[in-house]
Structure 1
Amino acid sequence: MWNLPNILTLLRIALIPIFIGVYYLPWEGRHLASAAIFGIAAGTDWLDGYLARKLDQFTPFGAFLDPVADKLIVASALIMLLESHANVLFALPTLVIIGREIVISALREWMAELGNRTSVAVSYMGKVKTTLQMIAIAILLAINPVLYPKLDLMGIALLYVAALLTLWSMLIYLKAAWPELSKVS
């Protein structure tokens, strides 16, 4: 259980309260510092998976914790950013992204109970949307939206692209699970 990939995943979770705390510090550099900490945490997502494959260190604990860590870091950052972006423009992609994670987590759990979890395994599209979410969130954390409204809009635009990919990947998972979902008992 205590291998390097799992330690990196735990580090990703441990960095969540740190980047949130830094974001709220009364310090001008808080935006860049919180974005840097978030970026390090997001980078561990790629690194832990790479190391697990390269070192052949897959564990059930890691398979469980890695997607949980991803969801925690994204949801925490989006909820925190919602405070400084308290409008429907930001709330909509935030709700789509967090809502999709809840739906797909429930779908995976249900499919696993049926012994059919592999039909809703993580897809390439899921990896792309996660990467885009992380980039959009890092941009939004890095800048003061009042001082840099154009960069803020760019971050929000990327968040919308990520939300669209989020919906698309959800449809892919739902389509894969549809034969089970549509069964009549």
Structure 2
Amino acid sequence: MWNLPNGLTLLRIALIPVFVVIFYLPTPWARPVCALVFTLAGLTDWLDGWLARRLGQTSPLGAFLDPVADKLMVAVALVLLVQADPSMWLALPAAVIIGREITVSALREWMAELGARAQVAVSMAGKLKTTAQMVAIVLLVLGGPVLGQPVRGMGYVLLYIAAALTLWSMFLYLRVAWPLLTAGPRGAADDR
């Protein structure tokens, strides 16, 4: 249960408060360091999965924590970015991305209860979405020019691409789950 991949996932979760504190520091180096922390967290996301498969160290704890850590880091980063720049142009894709994560997480949990979780496994659209949103967040956290090049505009473009891919991947998940969602009563109590 306690292995290197799970340790990297826990490190990613531990980096969230570090990210928040650095984001609000009133120093010129805060944003670049914050972007570095987010990049490090993104790299641990890739590395922990690769190591878990390579070393044969997959575990139920890792399978649970990995997507939770990803969603927490992205949601916190998007909320901070919207708070720092409260515009509709940033809030809209942030709301789409966070809303999709909540919807797909609930869908996966429900499908797991039915024993059909494998039907809503991560798709290529989901992986492309994750890459676009991670790069977008790093660029938006940086905000200002990097090596004389404006990065904020590219961050917005990538965030909108990520939001579009977010909607597309959610549609793919819902399409797979739709027959079960519309199958009628299953005899189990619900939360409505």
TM-score normalised over the length of structure 1: 0.95
**Runs of 5+ consecutive residues of structure 1 not aligned to the other structure:** none
Superposed CA offset, 1:10-57 (max 9, x none)? 000100110111111111011100000110011000000000011010
SS of the residue 2:151 aligns to: helix
The answer on whether the counterparts of 2:142 and 2:152 sit within 8 Å (CA) in structure 1 is no
The residue that corresponds to 2:78 in the other structure is 78
The answer on whether the counterparts of 1:32 and 1:143 sit within 8 Å (CA) in structure 2 is no
Aligned pair count reads 183
Q: CA deviation at 1:144?
A: 3.9
Q: CA deviation at 1:143?
A: 2.3
The residue that corresponds to 1:176 in the other structure is 176
Q: CA deviation at 1:184?
A: 2.4
The residue that corresponds to 2:5 in the other structure is 5
Aligned partner letter, 1:95:
A
Pairing of 1:25-104 with structure 2 (within 5 A): 25-104=25-104
The answer on whether the counterparts of 1:100 and 1:170 sit within 8 Å (CA) in structure 2 is yes
Kindly, what percent of the aligned residue pairs are identical?
A: 58
Following the alignment from structure 1 to structure 2, what is the Cα–Cα distance between the partners of residues 171 and 182? 15
Runs of 4+ in 1 over 6 A off after TM superposition: none
The residue that corresponds to 2:188 in the other structure is none
TM-score normalised over the length of structure 2: 0.92
